[in-house]
Structure 1
Amino acid sequence: MNSESNILPGSVVYLSHGGGPLPLLGDKGHQILIREIAQTLAKPSAILVISAHWEEGKPTITSGASPALIYDYYGFPKESYEIEYPAPGSPELANRIFNLLGRAGIEAKLDDQRGFDHGLFVPLKLMYPEANIPCVQLSLINSLQPEEHIRIGKALADLRKDNVLVIGSGFSFHNLKEFFVPSTKAARAMNESFEQWLIDTCSNSQLTEEQREQRLKNWASAPAARYCHPRAEHLLPLHVCYGIAGTAAKKALEFEIMGKMASAYIW
């Protein structure tokens, strides 16, 4: 990855946040990737994270001033449940998001009790360890329809003018069972075929935006799509990111995590 700095303020990033807290427990691949992504970005005034680990019936926004952490993983060492990331919330940004969604005809909800899950605090502890940038988290919709998530993104496009960094925190490969069995040649081929489709879809500047959007809406028809994503929740933060950006990604980053190929995107 190139180390050029200061991509335009208001960047949009889709990244793979790793297996639970593993990036904070010494997983070097994720540490390097996430820190290098941060080095390419201008420092934001606030951060919005769309996490794969929060689904609601309607888009829901954390609006508390000091959200606690939610350790939404299990079976990890004791220190995994002692991680701290005391970033402030931003009721002001939460209300702006709520109003932007409402203006687009999308019914949303504010939640001043919900904390930050590991889709937020794991990557941000690596990217911005000082924990001094206000953060807000936005849920997915539990219907998991790609069209709805692109629409949410489009409604929030104006956030880029405010130097808000938007992070779609998911994983471009998320078949949990396959992480724990020996990889076969056929499995590797399916993993790579979906990754190449996704990289082309997100970063090929020769596609029209209508073509790109249709591909993302119909992602389940891509090669090996349901092998890589038996369920869509770790991919859909990317759809929100694309809706906000509305164009080809500036960078597509390929890497290997736990023996599987994955990718990240910067707009």
Structure 2
Amino acid sequence: MTDRPAPRQPVLFVSHGAPDMVLGRSPTRAFLTGLGGLLPAAPRAILVVSAHWRAGVPTVGTAARPATIHDFYGFPEPLYRLHYPAQGDAALAARVRDLLLTAGLPVAEDAERGLDHGAWTPLMLAWPAADVPVVGLSLAETDAAGHLAIGEALAPLADENVLVLASGSLTHDLRGFFRHRAAGGGEADYAAAFADWVAEVVTAGDLDALADWRKRAPHGSDNHPTDEHLMPLMVAAGAGAGRSPRLLHRAVEGRVLRLDAWGWA
């Protein structure tokens, strides 16, 4: 009897939306609920990179059972009673650390950090039984090129039946969201132009353009006044470099929030 090779997992970028997405109905909630069905097999573990955890250097969560962090306020009370009881994975945490160090990147560990809503929102919808081990990895205080390099270092995980799940938002102009939502109408031109540009460069595998997004993307700073919700896309694009990208989901809320998802298979 010979051992079968581990399934090769895709690399995913998803837009996680507001934390109360798990309580309501929306196209993006429906997409995330079916996310596991897009995979070739159940992953042995998930490495999640959330827009809501940033540290000085890439930091690996090593908690045996990461806590559920309710990192928001002003939402319906039932949301604060939700918990996602996934276990951690010490072997995966060590593997992530070693991959980053081998690539010449600094790395730290955090045994206390739990899962924020950027992590548990898609996880709770896609794997509600919390039966797949989860390890968190922070963003770093670096630019898009630095996050692409982090992703490139993580690329071998896909061949080890580990799902790299990067969670942010394709656009994240919250001021525009509240302003335009009341006005109604179709998608704002500046959000559509940015999303179309992302689709063009991701499809082309143009990592140089992604790294220079603030200068090259139309309305880059308008759609991302701060960059933390776009950096998970950079990690995913780096991890998926050389693979086939595909737009998995397209949605817009409040005229300016694009909640697209991408996969690299």
**Unaligned stretches of 5+ residues in structure 1:** 1-7
Residue 233 (1) aligns with residue 233 (2): no
Q: For 1:256 and 1:174, how far apart are their aligned partners in 2?
A: 11
1:1-267 to 2 correspondence within 5 Å? 9-19=8-18, 21-41=19-39, 42-143=41-142, 145-182=143-180, 188-203=188-203, 207=204, 209=205, 212-221=206-215, 222-247=217-242, 248-260=244-256, 261-267=258-264
Moved over 4 A (4+): 183-187
CA contact (8 A) 1:172 1:195 kept: yes
How many residues align? The count is: 252
SS in 1 for 2:251: strand
Give the Å deviation of 1:264: 1.0
CA contact (8 A) 1:29 1:256 kept: no
Q: Which amino acid in the other structure matches residue 195 of structure 1? A: A
Give the Å deviation of 1:135: 0.2
Q: Which amino acid in the other structure matches residue 265 of structure 1? A: W
Identity percentage of aligned residues: 37
Q: For 1:30 and 1:97, how far apart are their aligned partners in 2?
A: 29
SS in 2 for 1:250: strand
RMSD: 1.7
State the Cα deviation string for residues 2-23 of structure 1 (Å, max 9, x = none): xxxxxx632111010011x221
Q: For 1:171 and 1:264, how far apart are their aligned partners in 2?
A: 9
Q: Which amino acid in the other structure matches residue 32 of structure 1? A: A
SS in 1 for 2:75: coil
Give the Å deviation of 1:24: 0.9
Q: For 1:69 and 1:197, how far apart are their aligned partners in 2?
A: 35
CA contact (8 A) 1:149 1:240 kept: yes
Q: For 2:236 and 2:192, how far apart are their aligned partners in 1?
A: 22
**Unaligned stretches of 5+ residues in structure 2:** 1-6
State TM-score, norm by structure 1: 0.90
State TM-score, norm by structure 2: 0.90
CA contact (8 A) 1:29 1:257 kept: no
